[in-house]
Amino acid sequence: MNPLLQDFNTAPFSKISNDDYKPAIKKGIEIAKSEIDKIVNNSDIPTFENTTVALDFSGEKLNRITSIFFNLNSAETNDEIQKIAQEVSPWLSEFSNDITLNEALFKKVKSVFDIKDTLDLNAEQKTLLDKQYKGFARNGANLKDDDKNKLRKIDAELSKLSLKFGENVLAETNAFEMHLTDEKDLAGLPESVKEAAKEVAKSKEKEGYIFTLDYPSYIPFLTYADNRELRKEMAIAAGKKAFKDNEFNNEQVVLDIVNLRNDRANLLGYKTHAHFVLEERMAETPEKVIEFSNNLLEKAKPAAIKEFKNLENYAKKLDGIDQLQKWDGSYYSEKLKKELFDLDQEILKPYFKLENVIAGVFEIASRLFDLQFEEVSNIEKYHEDVKTYNVTDINGNFVSVFYADFHPRKGKRNGAWMTSYKSQQIKNGINERPHVSIVCNFTKPTETKPSLLTFNEVTTLFHEFGHALHGMLANTTYNSLSGTSVSWDFVELPSQVLENWCFEKEALELFAKHYETGEVIPMKYVKKIKESASFHEGMQTLRQLSFGLLDMSWHSQNPSEIKSVKEFENEAFANTKLYPDVAENCMSTAFSHIFQGGYSAGYYSYKWAEVLDADAFEYFLEKGIFNKEVATKFKENVLSKGGTEKPMKLYKRFRGQEPKPDALLKRAGLL
C-alpha cells in the first residue's frame, strides 16, 4: 500500500520511497477531482455551505501529499526527486487550472457571491467567499475557451521553468569548492571556520580545507579571509551562479519566465505581472511600491554614500586599496565595526550555542504567548538532523507539531524558510492543529565545538520562528485563510517583529550564556550589539531596496524587448549602485526569491513589513517587551487571525492606529 495514500497524522517519512510520489500525486488529483465533481453535480441550489465551504475543504489529501514532496525537494532532495518534480509540476498546474477554468463550478461560486449581501456571514466567511470568487476571476474563469487553453499552456510552462531555475542554482552551488592546503591562505579566518572547512575536506576524503558556496562557509570566508585574491575568487564564483556558459545557465530561463508572466497578466486583463500580483496586496499597485521604495531610498541614499566613502577611506588607510570591490565590503565592514564598537562576531559566538538559542526563543514564546515546547522522539523525521517538538498551551492543550532542521547538507537549498506539512482548520467541529517546520543552514557542530551561531544566524532563527508562530497559533475555520495565508506584504510582520527581541537585554539574559562557563553575555556586549545594530544601515537599506526595485523592473513593464539579462539588471541597479560592476557576475540568474520562490513583484514586502514591525515593536517598548496585554493583542489580532480580514484592519485593531515609517527610520538611525 502507498503510505502517502493512507490516513496519517504526522508525515510517515520512513515509509515513503521515491516510487510512491508519482502514483500518490496522481491518485490525490483524482480524489480532489471527484470532490469537485460532487460540488458541481449537486442539484441543490448553491449555498455558502455546499459550495464555498465544500470547495475550501476539497483537495486536502492532495495538499498533504504535495506538501511532503515539495518540502523534501527543498530540504532533502536528490536527482530522482528533482526529476519527479519536473514531471508532476505540470500535472498540478493543469489540475489547478481544471478548477479555476471549470465553468460549471465558477457559475456556482458566482451565484453564491452575487447574493452575499443577503447572507448572514461573519467577517471570515465574507473573506473566504470574496477570496474564492477572485481566485476564479483573477485566474481566467471569465476567459473564452481558446484563451483558457493559452493560460493552461503558460502555467504548465512556468511551473517547469521555476523548477529548472532552482535546480540550476543548486547544481552550481554544489559544483564549486575552494580547496586550500597552504596554512597561510587561511590567515584571518577564525578557528571555528577553519575547523568546519577541515571537516568538509575530511568528508570528501581530501587533505586540507574546503570552502563552499553554502552560507556558513561562504559568508565567514568573505568576512574574515585576509587573502584578497581568494576573497575575489569566492565572491565571483558566488556571483556567477547560473551565469556561466554551461548547461546550468539561467539567462534564457529568466527571460522566458518574465515574458510568460507578462503574457499571463495581459491575457487576464492586467497591464503587467506586477499589476496582477499587487491588486491583492496591501500595496495595491506597482506605482505605490515604487513610490514607497523611492521615498525610503531618498532617506537612505545620502547615509549609504557617506558610509561607503568612510569604508573606502578606511580600506585605503589600512591596506592602500584605491577602489573598494564587492569582495572587500564584508571584510572591511567587519574590521571597521570591530574598531568602532570593539565588537567581534567571534567573541559573541560562544554565547550563542544553538541549543541555548532554541531554548531562548521557546522561553520568549512562552512568556509572550503561553506556549510550551517538548522535544519528542515519536514523530518521524526525514533526516537525523531534524528536531521534533510537541507544542502545547499553558493548560496542556495541544497546539502544534514543530519540526526544526538547522544544518546545511548536499540535498538542501541555501537560505532559511518556514513551511508547513498540515494547515490548521476547524472541520466537523474539530480544531485540526497545524504541523509547522523551519529549515535553516547554520554552522554545524565540530568534533571540539557545538554549533555556535553568529549574531546574524541568531536573528535568522528568530525570524523563521516568528513565521512558525504565525503558523502554530493559527485559529481560523478555513484552511485557505489559516496561518501564513495572508497577503504577502503582511506575512513578514510576525517574523521581523520577533527579531527585535534579539537586541534586548531582558531577552538576551534568558539564553545568551557562554557554552563553556555558563556566564551570561556581559552587558557591555549587549550595549554594543544595540549600538552596532544600525551600523551601515544606509548601505543595508540601499541593498534591500535595490533587490526590490530589480524585482519591480522585471515585473512592472513589458519585458519582450529585453535581450540581455545583465544589461537590464545594470540599468535597474543604476540608482542604488555603490560598488563597481563585476562583468562576469549577475544577480538575476540566481535570484531564487523571485524566480523560484513566491516573491515575484513582492520582494519590496521585506521593507514594507519592516515599517510595520518597527511600529509594532515600538508598542512593546512603550509597555515592556514581555507585556502580556500587548502580546495578547498581537496574538489575538495578528498571529491567530491568518488572512481572515484585511491586514490593515487587523493591524489597526492590534495597534490602535496605522503604522508610521518614523519608528523604522529612528531604529535605522536614518532620521
Give the residue numbers annotated as catalytic, written as ranges.
464
Give dist(CA 134, CA 136) in Å, integer.
Answer: 5
Give, in degrees to the nearest 5, the angle at Cα 48 between 45 and 52. Answer: 105
SS3 letters across 455-501: HHHHHHHHHHHHHHHHHHCCCCCCHHHCCCCCCCCCCHHHHHHHHHH
Instruction: Tell me which residue of 93, 86, 101, 75 sits closest to 21, measured CA to CA.
Output: 86
Give dist(CA 613, CA 503) in Å, integer.
Answer: 14
Task: Work out the angle between the directed axes of helices 60-75 and 79-100 (0-180°, nearest 10).
Answer: 150
| SS3 assignment, position 166 | helix
Which whole-number Å values give the CA distances from 616 to 438, 494, 634, 638, 660, in the listed order?
Answer: 23, 10, 9, 11, 10
Residues 6+ apart with CB under 8 A from 260: 154, 157, 158, 161
Which whole-number Å values give the CA distances from 224 to 30, 188, 221, 332, in the listed order?
Answer: 55, 5, 6, 9
Beta bridge partners, 400, equal 391
Residue spans of alpha helices (H) in 240-379: 251-267, 273-278, 286-319, 329-341, 345-348, 354-369
Residues 6+ apart with CB under 8 A from 94: 152, 155, 156
Which whole-number Å values give the CA distances from 407 to 136, 208, 387, 513, in the listed order?
Answer: 40, 22, 11, 21
**Distance, CA of 504 to chain centre:** 24
